[in-house]
Each structure stands twice: as C-alpha cells, then as structure tokens.
C-alpha cells in the first residue's frame, strides 16, 4: 500500500477528520507543525496562539496513543521550516513520501499554498459541517437573495433539530421576538468554566510569551480548555447554567460582565474539539427535559446550524477575493484605540479591554460596538478584517471574514446583510450600561460631548445616500434625517467631521 503524509492543521483537531478517516495508521504518517507563518501572518493574540499550540500538542499525544505515527514540529525545533508547506516538504524529504492527504483548510490562502506545493496533494472536503459546498451551492442557485433564515430552515429539516414531524417545534421557526432583552441588573452565571494550565500548557505559554509577547493581547492568566474532554465539560456547564437565559440576554452588554450568558464555545468548536451536532443535540436535550425554554434553545441552535454554516457557505461560494471587498469604498486607517490606546468612548474601551484580556468579545460587542464604529467611521474593511482575525481566539478566515466584511461592514455590497448594521448611541444605551460611565453624552446629538456614534450615524447615512436611500428598510432613517432642520443637519455633519479629523490626527477621542 502507498504511504501518505496526513496533514492536520491547528483547527482540524477532530478524530473523525476526513484526512484521518481515509488513512491507515500502519503506513501513513501524520504531520503536524507549529509554524511561525501561521502564528504571525496576522499578529494573532498570544492566547489564541497558545490555545492552538497546546491543543495541537495534546491532540498529537492522543493520536500517538491510538497508534498513529505523528511527526510533530514544535515552534522552537531547530529544523522547523516555518510554514505549513515548508514542513510538508521537509517531512517528504526525510521520509521519501511525496503524497499528501489533507482536509481542506478554512482559508483560501492556505488552500492555494497546498495546491501550489511541489507535492502530490489530495485535498478532501471538510465534512465537519452540516452543509457541504455542494449543498450550499444548490441552495444558493437561482436565489436572488441569500437570506440566512431560509437556509437555517433547511438545516433544521436536514438535522431534525427542534422539529415536530415536518413542522418546527412550537409552531414557529424563529423565537427572536422573545429574545434581545436589555442588559439585566445582575447576572447569576459566573461565566465559562476555567481550566488551570497543566505542564503542556505552561510550556506553550512560556514559548508564546518569548516569541509573540509583543503581539496585542494578554497571555496570562490563561483559562481556556485545550482538549476535547475540557471543552466538553465547558459546554455542559454552559448548557446547565447559562443556556436557559441565553436567549433573553443574547444581545445585552454590561460594563462589568464580559460573558453574560454566552457559551464561549467557539474556540473549541472551530478548532474541532467539539462538533456542531453534539452541541446542538445537548441543547435540544435541555429543552426536551424541561431544563431550558424553547426561545433560548432555538436561538442558540440557530447560531450554530444557521449562522455558522451560512457564513461558511458564503465564504466558499464567493471565492478567494471575498476578504478584500470594499463595496462602500472606505479607506480610513484603523485608529490606534482598536489596539488599546486610550479612548473616551466607554463602549469601545471596554470591548477592546476585554478583547485584550480574554481574546473574546461576544457577538453584539463585535457587531454593534467595534464593527458598528468601523462602518460608521468609514474604516478600510481590510484593516478591520485583519484586526478581527488577529484578536479573537475563535477567528479563522472562513468564519471571521463573512462576519466582518459582510455582516458588519457591508463591504460585500449586501450579500449577507440586507441593510447595514448601523446604529447611533441609542441602541448601545438600550442594550448596555456603558453610556452611564462614558465621557460622552449619549443624549447629546451635537457638540463636543455628543456621543460619536450619534454624529457618525448621520454622517454615514448622508455619505451613502445614493446607495441606501432607495432601500425600503432604510426609508425611515432618511425620512428622519430629511425632517431635521437644515442648520442642525449641517451642525451634525460638521461635528462628525471634527471628530473624524481629530481621530485621524491620532488625538485622543
Ligand atoms: P454564543 O453567543 O454563545 O453562540 C453560540 C455559538 O454560535 C458560537 O460559539 C458560534 O459557534 C455560533 N455563532 C454565533 N453567531 C455566529 C456568527 N455570526 N457566525 C458564526 N457562528 C456564530 N465567530 C467565530 O466563531 N469566529 C470569528 O472569527 C468571528 N468573528 C466575528 C466578527 C464579527 C465582526 C462579528 C459581528 C461576529 C463574529 N463571529 C465570529 C460571530 C460571533 O460573534 C461569535 O461566534 C461568538 O461571539 C462566539 O462566542 P460564543 O461561543 O460565546 O457564542
Ligand atoms: C491559527 C493557527 C496558528 C496560530 N498556528 C498554527 C500552526 O502553527 N500550525 C497549524 O497547523 N495551524 C495553525 N493555526 C491554524 C491555521 O492558521 C488554520 O488552519 C488556517 O488559518 C485555516 O483555517
Ligand atoms: Fe459608546 Fe456613545 Fe454610549 Fe459613550 S455614549 S458608551 S460612545 S454609545
């Protein structure tokens, strides 16, 4: 039988990975490599690098225990070639095996690198998702609009999750109407399960500290799980203690609480330590046994079999240029406060602070605080995209780019979002308690103290009037703007420009 090198990447840590399933431990050799290129093609958060390396090391140990021959390169191995393809070439030379089998990487950059490698590389589909590329293409074919909601219903039918025969459980597909309550006064859930670093993790932390200590982000304390068993415990703690309130407060934000009732399972899910179906089945069981209400469980399952699968479908359907799109022609440089410089905007400073400390922010912080600001201020989407890809522990391009470039920045021209997710300070004030502690006034609409989101909201709408005024879902916004007294409109735009100029000069805003 011909031997092969079986490549396993840092986000492919699943025992039933297609490349492994189709391999033979008796004569195939697994190749895994911690490489400088993957850790620094964007300056990944040190916690993210540590998580990936530690989880890779533990997965390699498990494979060895199952009888696999694993050639594993640590970052500080003297012969480490520094890139995935470089490592494959080195291993091919050492073993005399030039046939490689890989599961498709989650980023066009790496797919192309593998395709161009001077080796015989066979790329298998990544079937850890519910929808294959073909399933998504078939669903998308002939549709004018690719709306998540309809795709999601297909996934419900396909999986049988929350289905009563061919009808949705409870009679409705979507219970968002019951969700999205404003921030609660207090939160009974203490947050995700924390794990004390073991010897493997400690070694990795030292390595990452020495090599990537200058990247944005705090490395220690490090509390993420780094193997499947830990990830599963973290999942079950969420299901038991937070899922029942997940729906109610899904969109809320609190100055003094970083996680509210969120699962914080995306790092584990995206690295392959958990599977989407097992997570959803566990949530469904909680509903069936009366431990969590339908609105929470449906909302949670929708994020995973709906949004997560849908954004992946869009990323691969749209092609390799997706992350470079800039439909609104935005060119402003990313302000330094995204990298932790001081800002008077409390919502931004708290979202960035927790991003720095945890490599995590929840969806509404990403969408309606840092994302919303990027869109309103006209920041170059590619710079924003690289920021999100760098700073979040769960960020891989297949999931990050459609969320950032598409959902958040409208830079794909409206494939994912039917209208831009823009809001003034009023939304943030309704959903959080940030504004109470902010140097700006959320109720002020003009002047130096006016909340910048208030100024930039109108600035954005005025700048892009030609594109959006005809969108029926935005007609109300333009009607409100047009009803405003002309002098007031001029003042708003002037104050917004003053703010943007100050920000562009690098002054504290
Ligand atoms: P929960 O709120 O508890 O949700 C449960 C799960 O649903 C998540 O773990 C995740 O797997 C899935 N999910 C929820 N929303 C989405 C979504 N929009 N797209 C895909 N999956 C979703 N998610 C990533 O996994 N990686 C990213 O790089 C990423 N970048 C984002 C960038 C922007 C600008 C925005 C607006 C969102 C981004 N998201 C990303 C989606 C979402 O913010 C995260 O999945 C979520 O915050 C992860 O935290 P959680 O596990 O506590 O999620
Ligand atoms: C994110 C990441 C990092 C930081 N380091 C590695 C690495 O050293 N070796 C590896 O195989 N994978 C790593 N990864 C994950 C890859 O970047 C990921 O597989 C691609 O971006 C495709 O999703
Ligand atoms: Fe953010 Fe504006 Fe509220 Fe300040 S007032 S926290 S800038 S929304």
Q: Is the pLDDT score of 1 beyond 80? A: no
Q: Whose CA is nearest to atom 14 of ligand 2?
A: 10
Give backbone dihedrals phi and psi of 432, rounded to 5 degrees, phi first: -145, 175
Range of the domain at 277: 133-195+227-318
Residue 65 token pair? 């225990």
- Decide which of 318, 351, 384 is a domain's last residue: 318
Which atom of ligand 2 lies closest to the CA of 398? 23
Candidate from 351, 355, 403, 411 with most ligand 1 atoms within 8 A of CB, to mutate: 403
Looking at all shown ligands, the one closest to residue 457's CA atom is: 3
CATH (domain of 16): 3.40.50.620
Q: Cα–Cα distance between 335 and 338 in angstroms, integer? A: 6
Ligand 2 environment, Cβ below 6 A? 9-11, 33-35, 38-39, 44, 49, 52, 84, 105-107, 110, 396
Looking at all shown ligands, the one closest to residue 44's CA atom is: 2
Is the domain of 414 the same as that of 477?
yes
* 182-238 residue pLDDT tens: 888 888 899 999 999 999 999 999 999 999 999 999 999 999 999 999 999 999 999
Q: Whose CA is nearest to atom 13 of ligand 2?
A: 10
CATH (domain of 418): 1.10.579.10
Is the domain of 84 the same as that of 155?
no
Q: What pLDDT score was predicted for residue 316? A: 98
Q: Quick one: which of 113, 110, 248, 100 has its CA closest to 183?
A: 248
Is the domain of 97 the same as that of 240?
no
- Decide which of 80, 107, 124 is a domain's last residue: 124
Candidate from 279, 323, 394 with most ligand 1 atoms within 8 A of CB, to mutate: 394
Question: Hey, CA dihedral for 136, 139, 144, 146, is it positive or negative?
Answer: negative
Assigned domain for 498 exists: yes
* 352-396 residue pLDDT tens: 999 999 999 999 999 999 999 999 999 999 999 999 999 999 999
Ligand 1 environment, Cβ below 6 A? 262-266, 269-270, 300, 303-304, 307-308, 311, 362-363, 366-367, 371, 388, 392, 394-395, 399-400, 403-404, 407-408
Candidate from 38, 207, 212, 391 with most ligand 2 atoms within 8 A of CB, to mutate: 38
Taking the centre of ligand 3 as the mean of its atom positions, its distance from the CA of residue 426, in whole angstroms, is 9
Q: Whose CA is nearest to atom 23 of ligand 2?
A: 106
Assigned domain for 361 exists: yes
Residue 32 token pair? 């895994």
Q: What pLDDT score was predicted for residue 181? A: 87
Task: Please say whether the beta carbons of 136 and 316 come within 8 A.
Answer: yes
* 435-464 residue pLDDT tens: 999 999 999 999 999 999 999 999 999 999
- Decide which of 77, 96, 124 is a domain's last residue: 124
Is the domain of 148 the same as that of 120?
no
User: How many folded domains does the chain comprise?
Assistant: 3
Is the domain of 258 the same as that of 358?
no
Assigned domain for 219 exists: no
Assigned domain for 323 exists: no
Global confidence as pTM? 0.98
Assigned domain for 288 exists: yes
Give backbone dihedrals phi and psi of 164, rounded to 5 degrees, phi first: -120, 90
Spacing of C-alpha 217 from chain mean position: 17
Pairing of strands 69-73, 29-33: parallel
Instruction: Give mean pLDDT, residues 409-437.
Output: 96
Is the domain of 180 the same as that of 251?
yes
Looking at all shown ligands, the one closest to residue 455's CA atom is: 3
Helix axes 108-116, 84-95, angle to 10 degrees: 30
* 139-175 residue pLDDT tens: 999 999 999 999 999 999 999 999 999 999 999 999 9
What one-character-per-residue DSSP string does 449-464 give? TB-HHHHHHHHHHHHT
Is the domain of 116 the same as that of 248?
no
Q: Is the pLDDT score of 123 beyond 90? A: yes
Assigned domain for 442 exists: yes
Is the domain of 145 the same as that of 33?
no
Residue 259 token pair? 């996680």
CATH (domain of 255): 1.25.40.80
Assigned domain for 324 exists: no
Is the domain of 374 the same as that of 459?
yes
Query: Of the ranges 181-185, 284-288, 306-310, 382-386, which one carries the lowest mean pLDDT score?
Result: 181-185
| 434 within ligand 3 shell (Cβ under 6 A) | yes
Q: Quick one: which of 362, 373, 390, 287 has its CA closest to 42?
A: 390
Assigned domain for 28 exists: yes
Is the domain of 247 the same as that of 295?
yes
CB-based burial of residue 472 (10 Å sphere; 0-12 exposed, 13-18 middle, 19+ buried)?
Answer: exposed
Sheet of strand 29-33, all strands in order from the earlier edge strand to the far edge: 69-73, 29-33, 5-7, 99-103, 120-124
Is the domain of 304 the same as that of 343?
no
Mean pLDDT, the chain, integer: 97
Is the domain of 498 the same as that of 387?
yes
Q: Whose CA is nearest to atom 17 of ligand 2?
A: 38
């Amino acid at each position: 039988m011909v031997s092969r090198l079986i490549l396993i990447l840092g986000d492919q840590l699943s025992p039933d990975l297609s490349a492994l399933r189709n391999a033979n431990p008796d004569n195939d050799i697994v190749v895994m490599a911690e490489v400088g290129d993957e850790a620094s093609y964007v300056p990944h958060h040190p916690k993210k690098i540590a998580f990936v390396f530690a989880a890779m090391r533990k997965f390699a140990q498990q494979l060895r225990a199952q009888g696999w021959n694993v050639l594993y390169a640590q970052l500080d191995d003297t012969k480490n070639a520094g890139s995935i393809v470089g490592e494959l070439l080195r291993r091919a030379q050492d073993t005399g095996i030039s046939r490689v089998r890989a599961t498709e990487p989650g980023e066009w950059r790496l797919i192309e690198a593998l395709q161009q490698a001077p080796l015989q590389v066979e790329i298998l589909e990544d079937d850890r998702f519910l929808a294959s590329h073909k399933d998504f293409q078939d669903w998308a074919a002939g549709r004018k609009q690719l709306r998540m909601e309809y795709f999601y219903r297909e996934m419900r039918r396909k999986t049988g999750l929350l289905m009563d025969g061919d009808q949705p459980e409870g009679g409705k597909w979507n219970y968002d109407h019951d969700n999205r309550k404003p921030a609660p006064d207090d939160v009974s859930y203490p947050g995700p399960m924390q794990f004390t670093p073991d010897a493997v993790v400690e070694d990795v932390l030292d390595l990452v500290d020495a090599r990537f200590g200058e990247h944005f982000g705090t490395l220690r304390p490090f509390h993420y799980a780094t193997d499947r068993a830990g990830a599963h415990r973290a999942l079950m703690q969420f299901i038991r203690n937070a899922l029942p309130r997940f729906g109610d407060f899904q969109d809320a934000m609190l100055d003094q609480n970083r996680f509210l009732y969120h699962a914080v399972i995306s790092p584990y899910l995206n690295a392959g330590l958990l599977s989407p179906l097992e997570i959803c089945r566990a949530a469904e069981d909680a509903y069936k046994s009366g431990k969590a209400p339908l609105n929470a469980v449906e909302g949670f399952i929708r994020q995973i079999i709906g949004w997560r699968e849908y954004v992946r479908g869009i990323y691969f359907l749209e092609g390799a240029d997706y992350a470079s799109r800039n439909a609104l022609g935005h060119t402003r440089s990313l302000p330094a406060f995204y990298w932790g410089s001081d800002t008077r905007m409390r919502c931004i400073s708290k979202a960035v602070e927790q991003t720095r400390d945890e490599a995590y922010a929840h969806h509404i912080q990403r969408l309606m605080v840092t994302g919303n600001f990027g869109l309103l201020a006209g920041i170059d989407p590619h710079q924003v995209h690289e920021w999100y890809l760098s700073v979040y522990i769960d960020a891989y391009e297949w999931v990050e780019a459609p969320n950032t470039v598409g959902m958040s920045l409208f830079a794909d021209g409206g494939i994912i979002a039917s209208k831009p997710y823009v809001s003034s300070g009023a939304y943030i004030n309704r959903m959080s308690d940030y504004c109470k502690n902010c140097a700006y006034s959320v109720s002020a609409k003009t002047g130096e103290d006016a909340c910048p989101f208030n100024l930039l909201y109108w600035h954005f709408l005025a700048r892009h009037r030609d594109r959006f005024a005809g969108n029926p879902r935005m007609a109300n916004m333009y009607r409100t703007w047009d009803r405003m007294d002309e002098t007031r409109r001029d003042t708003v735009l002037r104050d917004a420009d003053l703010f943007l100029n100050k920000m562009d000069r690098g002054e504290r805003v």
